[in-house]
Structure 1
Amino acid sequence: MKRMCMAPVVVLVMLLTFVMAPLHANAAEEKVLNLFSWSEYFPQAALDMFEKETGIKVVYTTYESNEAMFAKLKMLEGKGYDIVVPSTYFVALMREQGLLSKIDRSKITNFGNLDAKVLGGPFDPTNDYSIPYMWGSTGMMVNSKHVDPATITSWKDLMRPEFKGKVLLSSDLRDTIGIALKALGYSVNSRSEAEIKAAYEFLKELKPSVLVFNVESTKQAFIGEEVVIGMSWNGDAVIAMQENPDLKFIYPKEGLPLWLDSLSIPVGAEHKDNAHKFIDFTLRPDIAKMIVEEFLYSTPNTAGWQLLPDELKNNNAVSPTDKDLTGSEFTNSVGDAKAIYEKYWEMLKTN
């Protein structure tokens, strides 16, 4: 009798198990990857290859700044996306706030293709939360039709009177204050208010020579000869030089700000296995080569670099030497000093 009374319960449990099991299986095996990244930052051909090889559909959503990405991920408590692409010190910020998941290195079989020089940055010393994707520099671009590149060796050359009204500076706070800090012999990651204030004074003195503060259209400004000297990301510089052969990219002797964009997995990612597969896919030499050829920034992937054509291997904007990078630093978190940077940046823009 007891057995007869329990039978409906057993049957119900079995039915529920039967109904729910496929749901769990589907959730675990869902062939989706939600990628949250900068616009035009992954070759479409590479995304197509990944989808074809794995059957995982990539849903690509974009942002225009680290700040926008961070704010959205924080609002969503690390949910909604499987891969994000933070730059240098934003990795540390997101890690400190519990927004990133630890990466399972055992699933990243191509990790050994990475150059040791870009590993172990101060923002993620053991690369537990970030895998390098692309890196580059903020250097100086000049138009050789208007100025002899051989005479430009320092950030202080921006001050030369003949460049008044013809200078472009970046609208990125850390990059622009960073080059001023470098010009004065300080670190791009200075936390000293006295040093940051000195950088502000340098930029304030330079401001009458500045035609525009811009980060989105630097290529067009140089190609169209609206400006003859100024700041440029190295990848933008290569594209601009292809359009206008008079343009030259220069590494100032004081050094310059370096950036590194990495692949990270948000803590609330729903498809972490797919995320690991995607990270490993981008570390393949053939894919790393494809990324460089598409966007012309520097690759952290030594195996991929070996596959590049000589014209890119020998282009120091794409493949800088150790000498080119003397004195250069990756931009890192400055902690509470961030408010000091923002204060002087606002003063620069309004005065």
Structure 2
Amino acid sequence: MEQYEPQSLSAPQLAAIRRSMTEGRMAMSRRALLRSAGAGALAVGGLGALSGCGIPPATRTAETSKADDHSDEEKWLNFSNWTEYIDVSDDNKHRPSLEEFKRRTGVRVKYTEDINDNVEFFGKIKPQLAAGQDTGRDLICVTDWLAGRMIRLGWMQKLDQTNVPNAYANLAEGFRSPDWDPVRAHSYAWTGIPAVIAYNEKATDGRKVTSVTQLLEDPSLKGRVGMLTEMRDTVGLTLLDMGKRPEDFRADDYDAAIARLQKGVDNKQIRRFTGNDYVDDLSKGDIAACVAWAGDLVQLQADNPAIKFTIPDAGFMMATDNLLIPNKARHKRNAERFIDYVYEPKVAAKIAAFINYVCPVDGVRDELAKIDKELAANPLILPDAEFTKKSHNFRLLSAEEETSFEQKFAKLIGA
């Protein structure tokens, strides 16, 4: 078999990639649609697609969901992912990690960037999953709340942990026990997505912005504050600022957080709620401070040193995108081999250097430093202990709560 030596990206290549993310196709692709179970999608009918799904979880069991595994005779893996969410070569013609996987294993990856938002993608695969049929996909990558929903419905396969020894050993501690898959029986994290506070120090005249209280109450920021249209991030950070834990808040806590945000809307403290289109406004200073996604900030800071971020003392929100194998997948073992492969530190470093979100793989720091020392030292990509202990997750909602909470948030943001 042909030997393949992975090539590290140079600093100029990385800079070019970062610029493409903020100025080119990346600017309105992966992050623009990130975790789009937000108010807009759900308020106009997405909730109906997710609320009951028409089939109770008990109709899918480990036995009824088994499929013949054709991995030995079919050297294929069908992988659905978000756009621009894996490393590519500088000329955009190759995906080095996928090519290395094929050279090493003989398994060719049919890589499809057909996930534009969680609700839309769920709509594509729901009919087959509900009917107990093959979706045509061996591996998918979806955000934690949807992963939890599909696991609860019995639509995702349990992993054979003997086929993923690297993943089992190298999964970072903070990703090991999500409430929706407590022992990672069905999933492994692809990347972490922190929501923190960002500000443009030129727009704030050098003042730091360190809390949601400051965002909502500092008169010097009036009309120049941005909040995210992602409910779990905006409300989660507000709950933390109120001394509540997003992991176990009550319905009246949620209502209090919404009321607090509504006051910020009514008194025009909040300029607007955005997807990742806050990026341009923050860079220009039209938005002085906002709730932001970490991957954006890594990229923005490469071009604009005035962009700063802070981790509130109260903590920050962390979500994950996750790898899962749907029921009836034809190539389960090939999918497990790929999951194990991307948990090798050298491979994980190459992917992290491109996508710039939190890497869930322990032992990756030295490998990432070979590509870019600044990235390896950035806590938004490789969190240190101090950063990690401030991380919080939004608890899994029941179908009824999801409907109610998203409707209230949609009304708040005018969706």
Q: Which of the five TM-score ranges fits, normalised by the shorter chain?
A: 0.7 to 0.9
Contact between 1:88 and 1:331, CA under 8 Å: does it hold in 2? no
Deviation at 1:178, TM superposition (A): 1.3
Q: Do structure 1's residue 223 and structure 2's residue 315 form an aligned pair?
A: no
- 3-state DSSP class of the match of 1:266? coil
Q: Which one of 102, 115, 138 corresponds to residue 51 of structure 1? A: 102
Contact between 2:71 and 2:332, CA under 8 Å: does it hold in 1? no
Change (3 A) 1:268 1:150: farther
Alignment of 1:185-264 (within 5 A): 185-190=243-248, 192-207=250-265, 208-264=268-324
- Residues of 1 paired with 2:337 and 2:307: CA distance? 40
Q: Which one of 41, 57, 77 corresponds to residue 85 of structure 2? A: 41
Give the structure 1 partner of residue 204 of structure 2: 147
Deviation at 1:26, TM superposition (A): 7.5
| Structure 2 segments unaligned to the other structure (5+ residues) | 1-67, 88-94
Deviation at 1:290, TM superposition (A): 0.4
Alignment of 1:116-127 (within 5 A): 116-127=173-184
Contact between 2:225 and 2:288, CA under 8 Å: does it hold in 1? yes
- Residues of 2 paired with 1:189 and 1:68: CA distance? 26
Give the structure 2 partner of residue 71 of structure 1: 123
Q: Do structure 1's residue 172 and structure 2's residue 230 form an aligned pair?
A: yes
- 3-state DSSP class of the match of 2:190? strand
Q: Do structure 1's residue 349 and structure 2's residue 413 form an aligned pair?
A: yes
Contact between 1:167 and 1:209, CA under 8 Å: does it hold in 2? yes
Contact between 1:110 and 1:284, CA under 8 Å: does it hold in 2? yes
- Residues of 1 paired with 2:137 and 2:222: CA distance? 46
Deviation at 1:247, TM superposition (A): 0.4
Q: Which one of 310, 314, 319 corresponds to residue 382 of structure 2? A: 319
Deviation at 1:186, TM superposition (A): 1.4
Give the structure 1 partner of residue 36 of structure 2: none
Q: Which one of 115, 120, 138 corresponds to residue 195 of structure 2? A: 138
**How many corresponding residue pairs?**
328
The CA deviation string for residues 175-212 of structure 1, in whole angstroms up to 9 with x for no partner, is 11212212211122455221111111111112223333
| Structure 1 segments unaligned to the other structure (5+ residues) | 1-23
Give the structure 2 partner of residue 94 of structure 1: 150
Give the structure 2 partner of residue 80 of structure 1: 136
Please identify, of 227-236 and 85-94, the stretch whose mean Cα deviation from structure 2 is larger.
85-94
Give the structure 1 partner of residue 76 of structure 2: 32
- 3-state DSSP class of the match of 1:134? strand
- Residues of 2 paired with 1:98 and 1:153: CA distance? 42
Contact between 2:199 and 2:208, CA under 8 Å: does it hold in 1? no
Please identify, of 266-275 and 66-75, the stretch whose mean Cα deviation from structure 2 is larger.
66-75
Give the structure 2 partner of residue 337 of structure 1: 401
Contact between 1:258 and 1:328, CA under 8 Å: does it hold in 2? yes
Change (3 A) 1:180 1:236: same
Change (3 A) 1:152 1:326: farther
Change (3 A) 1:79 1:26: closer
Higher helix share: 1
Alignment of 1:253-292 (within 5 A): 253-292=313-352
Change (3 A) 1:249 1:149: farther
- Residues of 2 paired with 1:34 and 1:328: CA distance? 33
Please identify, of 318-327 and 136-145, the stretch whose mean Cα deviation from structure 2 is larger.
318-327
Change (3 A) 1:257 1:26: closer
Greater gyration radius:
1
- Residues of 2 paired with 1:124 and 1:82: CA distance? 19
TM-score, length-scaled by structure 1: 0.86
Deviation at 1:46, TM superposition (A): 1.3
Deviation at 1:80, TM superposition (A): 2.1
The CA deviation string for residues 216-236 of structure 1, in whole angstroms up to 9 with x for no partner, is 333333223331110111111
Contact between 1:87 and 1:260, CA under 8 Å: does it hold in 2? yes
Give the structure 2 partner of residue 162 of structure 1: 220
- Residues of 1 paired with 2:299 and 2:153: CA distance? 37
Superposed structure 1 runs of 4+ greater than 6 Å apart: 24-27
- Residues of 2 paired with 1:188 and 1:143: CA distance? 27
- 3-state DSSP class of the match of 1:136? strand
Deviation at 1:327, TM superposition (A): 4.2
Q: Which amino acid aligns with 1:180?
A: T
Change (3 A) 1:149 1:71: farther
Change (3 A) 1:25 1:102: closer
- Residues of 2 paired with 1:148 and 1:315: CA distance? 25
